A and B are shown apart, each in its own frame.
Chain A
Amino acid sequence: MGVVQTDQMVLNIGPQHPSTHGVLRLEVMTDGEIVSQIKPHLGYLHRCFEKHSENVTYEQVIPFTDRCDYLASMNSNFGYVVTMEELMEIKVSDRVEYIRVIMGELNRIASHLLALGVYGLDIGAFTPFLYMLRDRERILDMFEYTCGARLLYNYMWVGGVSHDLPKDFEKICIGFLDYFEPQIEEYNNLLTYNKIFIERTADVGVIPADVAISYGVSGPNLRGSGVNWDVRKDEPYSIYDRFEFDVPIGEGKFGTLGDCFDRYWVRMLEIKESVRILRQALKDLPSGDVHQALPKKIRPPKGSIYRRTESPRGDLGYYIISDGSPIPSRVKMRSPAFTALSCLDEVSKGWMISDVIAILGSLDIVLGEIDR
């Protein structure tokens, strides 16, 4: 018998594909089901955020930051305003800080809920996705109650927030948390502990810690690899140093350290930590004026600053260069999903097509943020 001649096949996943989380195109070299190389092609969603920013004033950049990471707009805003305030040396009132933390953590829960739900969808479980979206909807309702918008808020301003909290917000938020906490257990029972789910995710797509650091992977993906790094804890910004919370890191619960399950599980635990922070913040929420520190005109001194904050996807960095005019000279956004996607090729070599989808889902990328 002669040797059967086989050849590798190029498979195009995307730009229109159900589970690329946006318009991402993956050029996958496959040998049967086994993947040997992945070339991601980006840019289908490029909206020139950085070029735009050089043509609008500092406060007008904020609506554009919303649209980069549209699943965690509050955190995008948060990062930008924290950076700007550090550049301009503005001290905002305690109430503003607390409101920002509350909004940021609520948005983190919302973002993680979507990430986890969509991950279930990638694996094939439809129902948990809708349960999680159902609860995310309540968070969006609270945002709408506060600032009128459900997805793209433009809520945090340099030196303050656009609106004070509405009537009874604390009560509503506590009510939501009381409702929400038992739901986490239901998600776990329905999806996390499901044996099929564990089989699909455990041991799959292992990112070792050194590879993760070298690829600049950050946030829950990095913590899933067992690296204890959380900007909120290690480089505290805003008032995160006042709260008590743990940084969950992956421990290889059902398989190897740094596999898809660990990344999933870290997100699930982070939701619980966010609930903890929220409860503390709501308890201590001081009163005050939220517009007190708003500068009349945003005209930062000449200089540059790089500041990173913890968005639900990881280290969200802003590099802002000011030349003294009211229009920024350069705004660079270091997006966490961009770095997370870059390691896809290395991680998914040798896995099957189904696993590539699982790995891609576990990295929790948002194409709006990658392409900016």
Chain B
Amino acid sequence: MNIEEIKSAITNKFSGSVIENDELSKNQIEIKGSKWLEVATFMRDNPDLSFDQLECITGVDMGEESNLQSRYNLHSMEYRHKVEIVINHDRKKPEISSVEQVWRIGDWFERETYDMFGISYKGHRDLRRILCPDDWEGWPLRKDYEGQESYHGIVVPKIKEEEEWE
């Protein structure tokens, strides 16, 4: 199935869930965040789509003014077609339903995206930080992130201090 057929299959089932956006590249589909869980379940279970593998979840922050994005790369082992789902989040309160129980790997990918971007996943059963320590402050991969000054008494150097070499 090519991208148009996938798009129309989703639109037929959930009208209004696909957002038309000219900026997207050719294999991307933008989906409304509120419908994501239903769309995801449909995409996995529909025998024509059969997206049984979630390849990757990428959190994206394009700058301090724009929205946060989640990008889901899906792949079907049966038909060997793939698609990329783009979902925009409100920067103030990034929230989306979790697909952890649709694709099991979503568990860790969502934890990673939560860790790095602070996008919270509704319905995730174990949403903790995964790579950073549990008590780390801030969301490191956001563009407006500023590092902690000290962590457990360890001073985090902001810039390399200019050492004397004489």
Contacts and interface: CB of A to CB of B under 8 A. Distances in A.
A and B touch in the complex (CB under 8 A): yes
Interface string B74-108: 00010010001000000000000000000111011
Given A50-B141, A304-B25, A216 B132 contact: no
Contacts, number: 81
Interface in A4-56: 42-43, 46, 48, 50-51, 54
A330 B60 contact: yes
B30 interface: no
Contacts of B59: 332
A131 to B, nearest CB: 35
Contact of A214 (B60, B71, B105, B129): B105
Interface of B: 25, 52-56, 58-62, 71, 73, 77, 80, 84, 103-105, 107-108, 116, 129-133, 140-141
Interface in A303-348: 303-306, 308, 315, 317, 319, 321, 323, 329-330, 332, 334, 338-339, 342-343, 346
A308 B133 CA distance: 29
A266 B140 CA distance: 38
A339 B71 contact: no
Interface residues of A, number: 37
Nearest to B86: A304
Given A216-B105, A321-B62, 8 more contacts: A42-B130, A46-B132, A214-B104, A304-B71, A306-B55, A319-B58, A321-B60, A330-B61
Given A50-B116, A371-B131, A227 B52 contact: no
B52 A213 contact: yes
A210 B78 CA distance: 11
Contact of B131 (A42, A229, A304, A343): A42
> Which 6 residue pairs across A and B have the least CB separation, nearest first?
A216-B105, A334-B56, A43-B131, A332-B58, A319-B58, A214-B104
Contacts of B61: 330
A342 B105 contact: yes
